[in-house]
Amino acid sequence: MMERQQRGVTLWFTGLSGAGKTTISSSVEKKLRALGYKVEVLDGDVVRQNLTKGLGFSKEDREENIRRIGFVAELLTRNQIIVIVSVISPYREIRLEMRHRIDNFIEVYVNAPIEVCELRDVKGLYKKARSGEIKNFTGIDDPYEPPLNPEVECRTDIETLDESVAKVLALLASMNIISSTVASVG
């Protein structure tokens, strides 16, 4: 496959646990890679095991986690990579800080009601949070501040995966990050 000339961009997927961030971002990644784009994924769970091990879930630790992810995303974006960040990132202020730090920042709000997220919870995290086993759980005893003006909103409770992925690809095409013929193949 021929390598494409491309512009760097950070797609910042934010939303509650179980909203569908990893599902959508994985699908976007596969489509872009299959078409020859250079893509790197910074998934919250993977990053916490490697780059930010030792950080807890206090507001300060969550913000430090996001700053470290943002630093890596900024470096990759600056080097013409499509960066897919998939993290809860519950606080608006730190997401805004990342928007100002990273050129070509696209916020993708993966939106599903908490009731839907709880039904999808294969790890049982919401149940543990509701019983008090897990403290500072986003959406239960810690806030999630939804984006006010995301570039893309994926409503995973009412959209199919393909519809959500198509929205992200269409925006990338409209910004001339990817070819418009690629987005229509979606």
Instruction: State the Cα–Cα distance between residues 178 and 52, nearest whole angstrom.
Output: 31
Query: According to DSSP H, which parts of 79-160 are helical?
Result: 92-101, 114-119, 125-130
- For residues 112 and 16, the answer to whether their CB atoms sit within 8 Å is yes
Q: Name residues whose C-beta falls within 8 Å of residue 114's C-beta, 6 or more positions apart in sequence.
A: 16, 126, 139
**Amino acid (one-letter) located at 89:** S
Instruction: State the Cα–Cα distance between residues 33 and 79, nearest whole angstrom.
Output: 17
- Other Cβ atoms less than 10 A from the Cβ of 110: the count is 26
- For residues 72 and 85, the answer to whether their CB atoms sit within 8 Å is no
- For residues 32 and 115, the answer to whether their CB atoms sit within 8 Å is no
Active-site residue set = 89
Q: What angle do CA 170, 175, 177 make, to 5 degrees?
A: 85
